Structure 1
Amino acid sequence: MPQEKPDLRNLREPVRFKRALTLLLMTLVLPGSAQIVAGSKKAGRWAWRVVAGLIAIVVFLVILGLIWRSGTINILARPGTLRLVQILLIVLALGWAALFVDAYRISQPLTLERNHRLITSILDGALIFVVVGALVYASVIVNTQRDFVASVFGNTKSSKADKGRYNVLLMGGDSGADRVGTRPDSMTVASVDANTGRTVLIGLPRNLAKVPFPAGTPLAKQFPNGFQWKNCGIECLLNGVYTYAANHKDLFPGNPNPGETATSQAIEAITGLKINYYVLIDLTGFRDLINAVGGITLDIGKRVPIGGETSPIKGYIEPGKNVHLDGYHALWFARSRAESSDYDRMARQKCVMSAMLNQLSPQTVLTKFQGIASASKEVVKTSIPAGELGTFMDLALDAKKLPVSSFSAVPPLIRTADPDFAVIRAKVAEAIAKSESLDNDGPGGDGKTSTTTPRSTSGTSSSKPSTTHTTKKPSKKPTSSTSTPPANGVDDVASICKA
């Protein structure tokens, strides 16, 4: 027998008004509860089943995340999963709105006096607006994430860790209007321990000459004695490999990214490391990415010119501790060559990478996600597949807790015009071995083991800036900005980023 609709006319008007408000608030706190208590039990039970199912899914994902964090992120980051979540949020918004409308109907607003009926109507509309608006906004965020993953991350096959490490080539390319094509002016290999996340940054100068290629690769056949030929000038340097390959696509049939492939192969031969993936960052959009995350804070040891070389110096980024840089100044700090060498520039770029790693918190990503995703789509190109996103996010969270070490193949250790690649490979192996030894030290060492809690590093950057950047007109005798590399080429990034 269907349950009869209760007649509220025998109740006093103030009681009916309180009952109407209560039904709306019950729908806000526990969708379907108003229908359960007011007689529409079938609709209420369906709503409760949906709520129970959603809670069960959330609890399952939380438990799975605690047990298998990277796998959970991989599942949730897939474009198909994100599309499903987006549809679910929209359906949930429509269903919740329907429950509010039904709760308003059940309260029999026509039995209320005019003022109380107006208050009830306004509250119902406001609750629908807030709840539906929040869920629709969440669906927009999810759609942004899906679009970001689909646009930035590749569909290539996953590459397994080599000797327990992921080696990712980070390239900073400048494809501005004054340049023909993209030429990576910054090349750094991030070698990451697949278990601990401990990272070694390996810097390679753009002007490295006579670079070799692995046997059997297209450019190894073209240049059996290394990347060189008569009167080639700057075209024969490491950063010219990208352009050469891009201009000779016939050597890479079926490969849509010959420049990235050839550069990765050259760096494999130089370092002796297997390059799993590459990340190409367009420096012309780097400013927007830094601005999207709210800037970075780092220590600056020497003043850095803004402009110079082919343009006049417009000012300086002055030295100091905890200097906060927006995108414009962070870009000049990373790319400026005036009054310094390429090797100073490489050191500054490591400081920027370390600052972004240490300061890009999950809270920042969540609160500024749309800006970050929008900027990243224009800035970042990578071969890391979407299915590995969780793996690298997991490693990044671990890496934030540990010091980052570094090796740079720079003079006087290396003569860039005639480099000894055997020395480079030996120093790379030494830097990685030194980093791995920290994890093997156990509780008494400087690292962490699989049974101990990762120790936080006392970095040189702060998440709360105490000073801001300043720019000044150049003086007649600007201070020279040069750095002396460590004797063995191996250092701690924190040590080179101190003011």
Structure 2
Amino acid sequence: MSARRVLRWSATIAAAVLLPTVGVVCLGYTQLSGNISHEKVKDRLGTARPPKYNKALNILLIGSDTRAGENARFGHTAGARSDTIILLHISPHRDGATAISFPRDLMVNAPACTTATGAAVPPALEMINATFSAGGAACTWKTIESVTGIHIDHFMQVDFTGFKRMIDALGGVEVCLPKAVDDPKSHLELAAGRHTVTGNTALAYVRTRYALGDGSDLGRIRRQQLFMAAMVRKATSTGLITNPVRLYRFLNAATKSLTTDDDLGLGTLRTIAGSVRGMSTGKVGFLTVPNHYWEVDPNRVVLTQPQAAQLFAAISKDTHAPAANLSHSASPAHRSTGPALATIPVRVVNGSGHTGLARQVTARLRNLGFSRAVVSTPPAAASHTTIRTTMAGQAAARVLAGVLTRTPALAREVGTGSTLTLVLGEDWTASPGPQGIRLRDAVPTSGDFIRSSTLSSGVTANTDACHA
């Protein structure tokens, strides 16, 4: 994975949350202003924008993987994409802030927009991060307003060149690993337990994906939210605020990675700083939009309703949203007497003769918690739905069988691997029936495993990663 992941969680929160929280009215304020770039975007948003109900500040945070300028050292990929989209909501009374993450592969109906040169971008059903590639910050801004109904006041766009020096300026950030990691892809080598990571190790931590958790991007989002929370906690609990030299080093790194709309100048940042300087870390929260895997393509996600609409309405009007709805994810938490659902690899083979069925079933399995389920090709005709497994996978096969409406045929395979193969036969049906077989609507609450929750809790700057 490229270094752009750094941007996703660290430069964004450094430039947008830590900057006002630590107080940008420090020595050298004017000198820092020369680091910030500006872009004119509001004349490209159109007139049919959501209403603004109060004095809350909603700031769109965009992470760009541009290789321009200093970023050329991270590679030579053409153009720029946005793998980070966060909506930062600062309450009207400046006594709380919430950072809402939008997964990069969230499918949305993007409205028509225009590029900075005036070229027309037609409406499309596409991944949300494609809006930035197509038309820049203005198209992403317009899309978020269209999808959420939330009035956005400003945007901040950051890149990743300053990441390592920002972490070093903070004096490192604490992370917690549930197990020892030696990941050749991200070059992360750490023992289990607590660590204070700096520069290169911090970079490796935010890059790693498959070495920790279930290997999904949603799992990494939560882990990186914990990293952001630790950054906020470190900045507000150490001498950074009162040490002019350390503070200047940090802000110099953060502002060098910052582009804003032309209405968000240092005066506005000073206003934000003065109003939120006393905000407690417990009032800074991180959430992910309610989402689930898309049945058309299980490698994409879509918004979960009505939870998403409830969250957006609460943010728009700054009202209280039900806590259970704030952090719905496609990776439910499970307790199990057998293997945990998220650890079971499942290949889904379509033998039913119905086009697209393997994709639909794979998406359903992921939504139930089998986050390692994948579509397997080519399809193979089968009369009966069957789970194929080796001796090593027998316990996992019982768990998978438990989410089906009736016990499928079981076929023993030779080998030592634990990957299951679910072959969808002609007896697979979308409707209940005595003869047909299908997935249950929910994981059973008895038997080999117990579904403890369909919702993962949100993260605040007080959240301890070792206890999360």
Question: 1:385 maps to what in 2?
Answer: 265
Match for residue 241 of structure 1 among 109, 131, 142: 131
Deviations 1:39-85 (A, max 9, x none): xxxxxxxxxxxxxxxxxxxxxxxxxxxxxxx9xx89x68xxxxxxxx
- One-letter amino acid of the structure 1 residue matched with residue 129 of structure 2: N
Measured after TM superposition, the shift of residue 223 of structure 1 is: 3.6
Question: 2:240 maps to what in 1?
Answer: 364
- One-letter amino acid of the structure 2 residue matched with residue 195 of structure 1: H
Describe the SS at the equivalent of 2:454.
coil
Normalized per residue, the structure richer in strand is: 2
Question: 1:325 maps to what in 2?
Answer: 197
Question: 1:191 maps to what in 2?
Answer: 89
C-alpha distance 263-307 of structure 1, shift in aligned 2 (>3 A): farther
Measured after TM superposition, the shift of residue 197 of structure 1 is: 3.0
Question: 1:497 maps to what in 2?
Answer: 465
Deviations 1:467-494 (A, max 9, x none): xxxxxxxxxxx999x8999624662445
Gaps of 5+ in 1: 1-69, 78-140, 229-235, 246-258, 439-477
Instruction: Find the aligned partners of 1:408 and 1:185 in 2 and give their Cα distance.
Output: 14
Question: 2:254 maps to what in 1?
Answer: 376
Measured after TM superposition, the shift of residue 146 of structure 1 is: 1.6
Measured after TM superposition, the shift of residue 496 of structure 1 is: 8.0
C-alpha distance 243-412 of structure 1, shift in aligned 2 (>3 A): closer
Question: 1:171 maps to what in 2?
Answer: 62
Question: 1:134 maps to what in 2?
Answer: none
- One-letter amino acid of the structure 1 residue matched with residue 465 of structure 2: C
Pairing 1:96-111 to 2, within 5 Å after superposition: none
Question: 1:276 maps to what in 2?
Answer: 153
Describe the SS at the equivalent of 2:99.
strand
Match for residue 262 of structure 1 among 139, 151, 157: 139
Instruction: Find the aligned partners of 1:428 and 1:485 in 2 and give their Cα distance.
Output: 22
- One-letter amino acid of the structure 2 residue matched with residue 242 of structure 1: F
Deviations 1:415-449 (A, max 9, x none): 674624754641423764998549xxxxxxxxxxx
C-alpha distance 157-400 of structure 1, shift in aligned 2 (>3 A): farther
Question: 1:452 maps to what in 2?
Answer: none
Contact preservation (8 Å) 1:302, 1:319: yes
Question: 1:117 maps to what in 2?
Answer: none
Instruction: Find the aligned partners of 2:317 and 2:459 in 1 and give their Cα distance.
Output: 11
Describe the SS at the equivalent of 1:399.
coil
Pairing 1:149-228 to 2, within 5 Å after superposition: 149-152=33-36, 154=38, 162-175=53-66, 176-213=74-111, 217-218=113-114, 222-224=121-123, 227-228=124-125
Deviations 1:328-363 (A, max 9, x none): 222232232334211122112222222222221484
Deviations 1:227-286 (A, max 9, x none): 34xxxxxxx4221211111xxxxxxxxxxxxx1111121122222212222222212431
Deviations 1:287-324 (A, max 9, x none): 1211122112244445666552xxxx534344424x21
C-alpha distance 292-242 of structure 1, shift in aligned 2 (>3 A): same
Question: 1:487 maps to what in 2?
Answer: 454
1:428 lines up with 2:311 in the alignment: yes
Describe the SS at the equivalent of 1:289.
helix
Match for residue 348 of structure 1 among 223, 227, 252: 223
C-alpha distance 414-490 of structure 1, shift in aligned 2 (>3 A): farther
Describe the SS at the equivalent of 1:151.
coil
C-alpha distance 418-351 of structure 1, shift in aligned 2 (>3 A): closer
Question: 2:410 maps to what in 1?
Answer: none
Question: 1:403 maps to what in 2?
Answer: 283
Describe the SS at the equivalent of 2:228.
helix
Describe the SS at the equivalent of 1:195.
coil
- One-letter amino acid of the structure 2 residue matched with residue 419 of structure 1: V
Instruction: Find the aligned partners of 2:315 and 2:249 in 1 and give their Cα distance.
Output: 35
Instruction: Find the aligned partners of 2:147 and 2:179 in 1 and give their Cα distance.
Output: 31
Instruction: Find the aligned partners of 1:407 and 1:435 in 2 and give their Cα distance.
Output: 15
Instruction: Find the aligned partners of 1:414 and 1:203 in 2 and give their Cα distance.
Output: 18
Question: 1:101 maps to what in 2?
Answer: none
Question: 1:335 maps to what in 2?
Answer: 207
Instruction: Find the aligned partners of 1:414 and 1:394 in 2 and give their Cα distance.
Output: 43
Pairing 1:450-469 to 2, within 5 Å after superposition: none
Contact preservation (8 Å) 1:357, 1:400: no
1:419 lines up with 2:302 in the alignment: yes
Contact preservation (8 Å) 1:202, 1:406: yes
Describe the SS at the equivalent of 1:191.
strand
Gaps of 5+ in 2: 1-19, 43-50, 67-73, 322-342, 346-370, 373-450
C-alpha distance 193-151 of structure 1, shift in aligned 2 (>3 A): same
- One-letter amino acid of the structure 1 residue matched with residue 127 of structure 2: L
Measured after TM superposition, the shift of residue 401 of structure 1 is: 4.0
C-alpha distance 212-490 of structure 1, shift in aligned 2 (>3 A): farther
Contact preservation (8 Å) 2:156, 2:258: yes
Instruction: Find the aligned partners of 2:103 and 2:76 in 1 and give their Cα distance.
Output: 22
RMSD between superposed Cα atoms in Å: 4.2
Number of equivalenced pairs: 294
Normalized per residue, the structure richer in helix is: 1
Describe the SS at the equivalent of 1:268.
helix
Contact preservation (8 Å) 1:189, 1:203: yes
Contact preservation (8 Å) 1:169, 1:275: yes
Contact preservation (8 Å) 1:161, 1:276: no
Give the % identical residues. Answer: 19
TM-score w.r.t. the length of structure 2 is 0.52
Instruction: Find the aligned partners of 1:479 and 1:288 in 2 and give their Cα distance.
Output: 39
Match for residue 163 of structure 2 among 286, 289, 298: 286
